[in-house]
Amino acid sequence: MTQHDLVEKICEAVGGQAEDAAFYPTALDGFGLLHDVKTKSIEAQVYEPIVCLVLQGKKETRIGDRLVHFGAGDSLIVSHSLPVLAAVTEASREKPYVGLVFSLDLSILRGLYDSVGSEPAEIETVQSLAASKASPDLIDAMARLFHASQNPTDAKILAPMISREIHYRLLQADHGGMLRQMLWRDSAASRIARAIDIIRADFRTALPVCDLAQSAGMSVSAFHAHFKTVTATSPLQYQKDLRLLEARRLLSHGSLSVSQTAFEVGYESPTQFSREYSRKFGVPPRQDIGSKCIA
């Protein structure tokens, strides 16, 4: 099956569902369809560890000061949980943005890494988000997983095997070293991942950087440097981004005031919250109250 044929099959699967949606879940947990008929303005969101295969159209993602462009035939790999700014930059009703997104299972990756992997080379780049041309093997495996997701029996029998294959293909891909770095217990990427887990679990609370550095087994200066390399941002800004994203979600429901929202996500000053919110999203928080489109 050609890439064009796969695009048509995905468009058929989306069918008459709401055109305002961009993500369409399938019967398989962690596997979904991407379909947009128009370009979108920049949206703030959190990327979990995933691989995104773009089949048609273009998108860009910004993490900190790093901007990544990807389009048809490219795969985007994300190894850590990351607050990002993303936008679909090429899409139309005649030629929509189409792709497949697959959540990574770290337990499967670790099992494969222990079986066939080796310690990552020191020269491998430590980063958490990268795009490159997808290999024919990865495209084929993702296509087969899509077909399996459309049939309950295939989903039950074939999907686990195909899922394992996709994880293996990613470890062998151009940016597989990024995943190997995270899986290697003593690597900076793995240590930063542990600190990220702590921040995400308790982002409403002030977290001393010295405590985060200790959890990563690093000095404060080394922790700052490695955190910036992996996430393209600072620990403090990472936490702020999580707070602001949660605030935007809460405001969209319309049940809390701006001040209540500020305190709910961990800010001590509603004024500071409003200032940082406006800087992040381009509008004051009161303007987003009840805006279901951003939920």
The yes-or-no verdict on residue 179 having pLDDT over 80 is yes
Write the CB contacts of 3 (distance below 8 Å, at least 6 apart in sequence).
Answer: 55, 72, 73, 139
pLDDT for the residue 122: 52
Evaluate whether 272 touches 248 at the Cβ level (below 8 Å): no
* 124, pLDDT greater than 90: no
CA angle 43, 48, 53 (to 5 degrees): 80
Give the three-state DSSP class for 227. Answer: helix
Rounded Cα gap, residues 233 and 226, in angstroms: 10
Report d(CA 42, CA 94) in Å as an integer. 22
* Res. 16: pLDDT tops 70: no
**CB-based contacts of 218: which residues, under 8 Å, 6+ apart?**
188, 191, 226
Band of residue 169 on the pLDDT scale cut at 50, 70, 90: very high
Distance between CA atoms of residues 137 and 55, nearest Å: 14
- The beta-strand segments (E) located in 79-140 are 82-90, 97-103, 129-133
7, amino acid identity: V
Q: Which residues pair with 83 in a beta bridge?
A: 46
Task: Judge if 3-181 and 237-294 fold alike in CATH terms.
Answer: no
pLDDT at position 123, please?
A: 47
DSSP 286: G
For residue 42, name the pLDDT band (cuts at 50, 70, 90): confident
pLDDT of residue 77: 96
Please tell me the predicted confidence (pLDDT) of residue 118: 59
The total number of residues shown for the chain amounts to 295
Q: What is the pLDDT of residues 225-273, one digit of tens each?
A: 999 999 999 999 999 999 999 999 999 988 899 999 999 999 999 999 9
Please check whether residue 152 is in contact with residue 27, taking contact to mean a CB–CB distance below 8 angstroms.
yes
CB atoms within 10 A of CB 136: 8
pLDDT of residue 115: 86
Surface-to-core class of residue 85, CB atoms within 10 Å of its CB (0-12 exposed, 13-18 middle, 19+ buried): middle
CATH architecture of 3-181: Sandwich (2.60)
Q: Does 1.10.10.60 match the CATH number of domain 237-294? A: yes
Q: Report whether 155 contacts 149 (CB < 8 A).
A: yes
Does residue 295 carry a pLDDT above 50? no
Q: In angstroms, what CA-CA distances link 76 with 146, 214, 247, 267, 268?
A: 17, 31, 27, 33, 37
Q: Where are the domains of the chain?
A: 3-181, 185-233, 237-294
At residue 71, the pLDDT reads 97
